Amino acid sequence: MTIHIQKIRKSFGAQEILHGIDLHIQTGELVALLGPSGCGKTTLLRLIAGLESPDSGDISFGSDSVVRVHARDRRVGFVFQHYALFGNLTVFENIAFGLRVKPRSQRPSESVIRDRVEGFLKLVQLPQLGRRFPAQLSGGQRQRVALARALIMEPRVLLLDEPFGALDAKVRKELRRWVRQLQQSLKLTTVFVTHDQEEAFDVSDRIVLMNAGQIVQSGSALELHDSPSNDFVHSFIGDSNRIRGQITGHAFRSAPWHYAVNAGASSAGESSEAAAAWARFRPHDVELQHFSKGVPVEKGLSARILRATPMGALVRVELLPIDASPQDVGADVLDAEIPRSDFDRLGLREGDLVSARLNRVRIVTASDTTAPRAQ
Amino acid sequence: MSSVSRQHRPAPPLGLSRLVLTGAALVLVALLLLLPLAAVFVEALRKGWEAYLAALREPDAWSAIKLTLLAAAIAVPANLIFGVCAAWAVTKHRFWGRSMLVSLIDLPFSVSPVVAGLVYVLVFGAHGWLGGWLQQHELKVIFAVPGIVLATIFVTFPLVARELIPLMQAQGPEEEQAAAILGASGWQTFWRVTLPNIRWGVFYGVILCNARAMGEFGAVSVVSGHIRGQTNTIPLHVEVLYNEYQSSAAFAVASLLTLLALATVFIKSALEWYRDRSP
């Protein structure tokens, strides 16, 4: 079942939470709505479920517009962050709930209900726990019950609201792999909300990154990481460094780092006035050389190694501007990730002076960050 | 009050201030709570069991008991239904005027019961706004049973709702939303999800409401007219007997209300004990 979301707007009181969302989700696709808290991702999910109604815009499943359909008639499955299991009912009765509240003419017989619930208890790997109450289960088990309760209704789409957020790290990882496998075997169109990018990368086919009530970029984890559409994506996805400087014409300069680069046809325009700007780059796009072996290399910045921490095949190096002292509390610090072999070959140590060559630098001006919000 | 925290906290030194404070609290409890409680039963039985039972069997007393039971039997279910509806509306939905409704629910607690009674007299009394219309249709509200029931409902209005609102607020709307998405109608959601979750709060609310309904004096006193054998409730009858210097009969009837209070406290504790042991 495809989901088409068109020009959805939603306000709570005077504050608009969603500023016109367009999103199309393919049948069987597993989409993660990712973004910082307050970006509107949960509101969007609740709008798809029918728990909120939009101020304007349309939502359809396949060719059916559901925007005026009550939540109980939308045939969606919804899993809440805090499970929302019925505490006064056993696990069995929780899963059977949706079947039991059907109108009498459509309600399956008691024996059919029993068979189907037993089947779903097996599917979510809790065959022996039907008689327990939710309070007697662990967090991971509760979330499996919540999934079974949603799936037994054969929903057209499955919606998960931070489903692993309340679980501890190990259970979270196991459960999300399992949910992914289950989703693949059922080929069920699924949307899940998360603020954890690792989780979004790990589980989804596609990530829809949201910020301040808008979709900022949508694509695979690699696309978002390697070709961020703006500075927000660059800073939100993966690790990111930022050094402050000024742009004059095409030239970006950062005095504390003794760094200059040609910004190319930047969006700053051709103004010859100096404007505040910053350079953004990933820690693994930094190459180090000894500073003492001659003049700084082309496009390199000058720095002192503050700390070097081994991390498996990499060494994480913290860099300080060459003129700043380590006691300088407010000083900028950069992270670089250098292959362990390179680090050892150069024989680098803490306190050494280095030139750092930056491979993929993005020059950002203040107007770049505000641009996507002004529509 | 977990036993764990009590075990881990070191006992404070036995200082003079601790002795004085504990002693003062005990004296206060004895003076204000235990002594009057004992006095009620001592005075009631001063002339022996025979006189005690006779005071209760006396026709006016018996009529007061029946009227009190009737008023409570109408007021408690009415406020049960109202309280559950109001708490449900206020906590599970957002609508215009919601906070005003919350304040309105509290109004009977902030208004003096005597004022409440007077308002009913002004509206329903012979010279009140609706008095003429009521007389034409031969309906009697003030100085009659309907007025007493109305006054009782007014005074006990907030008890059930007040018990449920914080409970339902803490539970949030998620279980109801989950039920709706699973296809349950509003009615099914209420019976299968909401009500089981609030059943203990409903029980507390009902027993508190009942105790207050049976013991109400001020508002009922204004609308009752004190007609012996007809519009006197138990508290009003106690006052009549006391004013007529029949103190041991007054205390005998008063002992019924005292027993009601004790029973209320006992049932509430028993419910709490049972709740903590059930899933």
Contact assignment for B184 to A101 by CB distance below 8 Å: yes
Calpha distance A355→A248 (Å, rounded)? 24
Q: Judging by DSSP bridges, how do beta strands A76-79 and A157-161 pair with one another? A: parallel
Contact assignment for A84 to B183 by CB distance below 8 Å: no
A80 touches B at CB < 8 Å: yes
Calpha distance A193→A179 (Å, rounded)? 14
A153 touches B at CB < 8 Å: yes
Contact assignment for B197 to A50 by CB distance below 8 Å: no
Those residues of chain B whose CB sits closer than 8 Å to some CB in chain A are 174-175, 177-185, 188, 192-193, 196-197, 279
For Cα atoms A73, A153, A1, give the angle at the middle one, nearest 5 degrees: 70
Calpha distance A181→A290 (Å, rounded)? 49
A120 touches B at CB < 8 Å: no
Q: Which pLDDT score, from 0 to 100, does residue B96 have?
A: 85
pLDDT band with cut points at 50, 70 and 90 for residue B12: low
A142 touches B at CB < 8 Å: no
Contact assignment for B183 to A82 by CB distance below 8 Å: no
- DSSP lists the bridge partners of residue A354 as A290, A303
Whether this model's ipTM surpasses 0.85 comes out as no
Residue A32 is classified by DSSP as: E
Contact assignment for B178 to A153 by CB distance below 8 Å: no
Contact assignment for B181 to A86 by CB distance below 8 Å: no
For Cα atoms A357, A363, A365, give the angle at the middle one, nearest 5 degrees: 150
Calpha distance B224→B151 (Å, rounded)? 9
Judge whether residue B4 has pLDDT over 50: no
Are A243 and A276 in contact by the 8 Å Cβ rule? The answer is: no
Q: Which pLDDT score, from 0 to 100, does residue A301 have?
A: 85
Q: Which pLDDT score, from 0 to 100, does residue B196 have?
A: 92
CA distances from B21 to A246, A353, B6, B190 (A): 71, 71, 19, 49
Q: Which pLDDT score, from 0 to 100, does residue A372 have?
A: 39
Give every CB contact of residue B83 below 8 A, 6+ residues apart in sequence.
B158, B159, B160, B161, B162, B163, B164, B205, B209
Share of chain B above pLDDT 70, in %: 94
Q: Judging by DSSP bridges, how do beta strands A206-211 and A30-34 pair with one another? A: parallel
Maximum alpha-carbon separation in chain A: 86
Nearest Cα residue to A193 out of A300, A329, A48: A48
> Phi, psi at residue A110, to the nearest 5°?
-55, -40
Searching chain B, which residue's CA lies closest to the CA of residue A48? B181
Mean pLDDT of chain A: 88
pLDDT tens-digit series, residues A92-151: 999 999 999 999 999 999 999 999 999 999 988 899 899 999 999 999 999 999 999 999
Contact assignment for A77 to B193 by CB distance below 8 Å: no
Q: Which pLDDT score, from 0 to 100, does residue B8 have?
A: 58
Tokens at residue A62, please? Answer: 């396949």
Exposed/middle/buried for residue B123 (C-beta within 10 Å: 0-12, 13-18, 19+): middle
Q: Is the dihedral of CA A242, A248, A252, A257 positive or negative?
A: negative
Share of chain B above pLDDT 90, in %: 35
For Cα atoms B59, B63, B67, give the angle at the middle one, nearest 5 degrees: 175
Are B271 and B204 in contact by the 8 Å Cβ rule? The answer is: yes
CA distance B177 to chain A (A): 7
Mean pLDDT of chain B: 87
Please state the pTM of the whole predicted model.
0.79
Calpha distance B220→B223 (Å, rounded)? 5
pLDDT tens-digit series, residues A259-314: 888 876 545 455 567 788 888 899 999 988 887 655 555 667 888 898 899 988 99
Rounded to an integer, the average pLDDT of A61-86 is 93
Nearest Cα residue to A55 out of A3, A4, A16: A16
Among the partner-chain residues B174, B185, B279, the one whose CB lies closest to the CB of A82 is: B174
Calpha distance B134→B150 (Å, rounded)? 15
Q: Which pLDDT score, from 0 to 100, does residue B10 have?
A: 61
A84 touches B at CB < 8 Å: yes
**Residues of chain B neighbouring A86 (CB-CB closer than 8 A):** 175, 178-179, 192-193, 196
Among the partner-chain residues A51, A84, A101, the one whose CB lies closest to the CB of B175 is: A84
Rounded to an integer, the average pLDDT of B68-74 is 93
Are A26 and A2 in contact by the 8 Å Cβ rule? The answer is: yes
Q: Which pLDDT score, from 0 to 100, does residue A33 have?
A: 95
Contact assignment for A72 to B193 by CB distance below 8 Å: no
Rounded to an integer, the average pLDDT of B210-229 is 87
Contact assignment for B193 to A86 by CB distance below 8 Å: yes
Chain A with chain B: Cβ pairs closer than 8 A: 68
pLDDT band with cut points at 50, 70 and 90 for residue B223: confident
**Residues of chain B neighbouring A91 (CB-CB closer than 8 A):** none
Rounded to an integer, the average pLDDT of B4-24 is 72
**Residues of chain A neighbouring B197 (CB-CB closer than 8 A):** 87-88
pLDDT band with cut points at 50, 70 and 90 for residue B9: low
Among the partner-chain residues A49, A70, A80, the one whose CB lies closest to the CB of B174 is: A80
Rounded to an integer, the average pLDDT of B120-141 is 83
**Residues of chain B neighbouring A84 (CB-CB closer than 8 A):** 174-175, 177-178
Write the DSSP string, B124-159: HSTTSTTHHHHHHTT---TTSHHHHHHHHHHHHHHH
Judge whether residue B135 has pLDDT over 90: no
Calpha distance B267→B37 (Å, rounded)? 18
**Residues of chain A neighbouring B179 (CB-CB closer than 8 A):** 86, 97, 101
pLDDT tens-digit series, residues A307-365: 899 988 999 999 988 887 777 766 788 899 999 998 889 888 888 888 888 888 888 88
